[in-house]
A and B are shown apart, each in its own frame.
Chain A
Amino acid sequence: MQRKYTVWLIFSGAFLVLLLLTALWSLTSGELNIGITDIIPTLQGKPDSMEYMILKQIRIPRMLLGAAVGGGLSLSGVILQGVYRNPLVEPYTLGISGGASLGVALVVVTGLHRLIGSFMLPLSGFAGAFLVIFLVYTISSRHGKVNIQSMLLTGVMVSFIASSAMMFLMSTTETENLHGIIFWIMGSLDEPDTSLIVITLVTALISLVVAYLFVEPLNALRLGEEKASHLGINTNLSIRILFLLASLLAGICVAVAGVIGFVGLIIPHLVRRLVGSDYRILLLSSFLLGASFLLACDVIARTIIAPNELPIGVITGMVGGVVFLLMSRRSLLKGKN
């Protein structure tokens, strides 16, 4: 076996172990501490015990959602960076979060969520994200070909328009609606609806599999669109499918968990530094590390000012940003010497 593959195996194993550890951390910590060794006995024990209820109804769903959203956003980021050949692109650059927020804001302001039900918020978030994806995609494709650069610009512009429209809505609505919008925007893994958690988890896993079907085009695109096509890759088709896959995945994550920034940008960056830029290892590693990162951030957000909870976006931004700066400082210094 090639040395490269052995290294990949070690990295995947390490990231998987890390994910299991953070998952256990997430299950055990909180207002009520449950020991690691108590988890399995509690789940096999009486269903009416306090520990059982907390694990089954709060922590396990939250842990699953955290892993799915963290992995999903990070996977979406790494795919988009590959498609655009730009390491600064992330799902939110393309206006997906702007669209989702606008969708939710519209529903809150018009009071539709009170009429129809709680699932209206994620649904409108997804509709908003989908609309933006559709707009960006159709504006930048002509004669059946997508123009990557114009797509990026369109995304940024649509993003601006969406956030302006949002500000307009927020400045004209009542204070109580304002609170609802801001609460949603800040993002949270607290999702009462189990079916939404299942949908997110299944989508994230399916996306990972589909991304792996396109791993060769992703790798060839590292040479540029033209050179990839010289190697027999149907770049136009691959770019379209990968764009739709990544943005729908990000759309679902945002719709369910709100705007959780930085994961899609920072995790692929860190992983690239650790494992290199071959997408065969990059996709899986980003997914696993993104999942553990968000789980860890969630635990910190829940426990740091307990019994109150910080919005998870605050922690992802702070932890991610600081780690990132430290890493790039080190490599900058290394480059100078």
Chain B
Amino acid sequence: MNLLELHNVCCGYSQFRLDHISFGVGKGSFAGIVGPNGSGKTTLFRGIAGTLPLSEGQIRLNGQSLREMSLRQKARQIAIVSQFIEAGDMTVEDYVLMGRIPHHARFTFFETEEDYRIACEMMKKTGSWRFRDKLMSELSGGEQQLAGIARALAQQPQLLLLDEPTSHLDITHQVHILNLLQELNEQTGLTILMVIHDLNLAAEYCDHLFLVNEGKLHTSGTPEEVLTFRNIEDVWNTVVVTQTNPVSGKPVVFLVSGKVMKKQQEQTL
């Protein structure tokens, strides 16, 4: 059964629009949206997040149209981690506690014991507990992402949306963040949908990929089905070598430099 369903979604800006995109994300799935720069990944993300209004089509969560939900209802079910987190002058703990806002009664003034309990639990789970008293502006990029994920988890959502959670991070932090997401997905059944640039990370971690190109859904399926030599050449206009990771069995994409490529062509001739 699908948790999130998109039917003929059109949205965007005057110069660029998504063109009737439909797909479904299964409950408990760890899905990724991939595509080249300017393909509409972020537009699609913003459409699902509700930041951009849909001009056509609809998005359903658990069968209920997002349009019929209040902002608060939505925030209790979908948590969003953006690429850039600006919360300079608050501590990590205060920032994570913000995730409890959708669960507060109107005109709440003090956080409850439960709010604190859940915030602490999520900080411990994500490993942001050790820097909980630091200011958000004092954190490194990786630590900010961890705090962002802890804040999103404090919303106790059914669906976690992430916009390029690993960009600007080194491989240690990339793997750390994605391992964390994988654990959450496997242990709690949290459904995750993320926009991700790095095809190898997408292949290694996601169980389902949506390849977007020029505002349209190009292909969707398992990483093996989506990240084929033909699809990549078609969408990115780049010649690559695809192979299988000998340890995980997932597809891996290798790039070949222009110089080597030329040499290869000369040899075959």
Contact = CB atoms under 8 A, between A and B. Distances in A.
A241 B79 CA distance: 26
Interface in A212-228: 212-213, 215-216, 219-220, 222-224, 226-227
Given A222-B90, A232-B76, A277-B90, 16 more contacts: A213-B107, A216-B104, A223-B86, A226-B51, A226-B82, A229-B50, A230-B50, A231-B155, A232-B70, A232-B72, A232-B75, A232-B102, A234-B71, A277-B89, A278-B90, A280-B109
Interface string B64-86: 00000011111110011010001
What are the nearest 6 A-B pairs in CB distance?
Answer: A232-B75, A232-B72, A232-B102, A232-B71, A231-B101, A230-B80
Most buried by B among A2, A222, A230: A230
A233 interface: yes
28 contacts: A2-B116, A213-B107, A215-B109, A216-B107, A216-B108, A220-B98, A222-B89, A222-B90, A223-B87, A223-B98, A226-B51, A226-B82, A227-B80, A229-B71, A230-B51, A230-B80, A231-B75, A231-B98, A231-B101, A232-B70, A232-B75, A232-B101, A233-B71, A233-B101, A234-B71, A276-B89, A277-B90, A278-B94
A134 interface: no
A278 B89 CA distance: 9
B101 A220 contact: yes
Contacts of B108: 216
Contacts of B79: 230
Most buried by B among A215, A216, A220, A272: A216
Interface of B: 49-51, 70-76, 79-80, 82, 86-87, 89-90, 94, 98-99, 101-102, 104, 107-111, 116, 155
Contacts of B73: 232
A226 B161 CA distance: 14
Q: How large is the interface on A (under 10, 10 to 19, 20 to 34, 35 or more residues)?
A: 20 to 34
Contacts of A229: 50-51, 71
A275 to B, nearest CB: 12
Contacts of B72: 232
Interface string A262-277: 0000000000100011
A105 to B, nearest CB: 40
Contact of B87 (A222, A233, A234, A278): A222
A119 interface: no
B110 A5 contact: yes
Contacts of B89: 222, 272, 276-277
Contacts of A5: 110
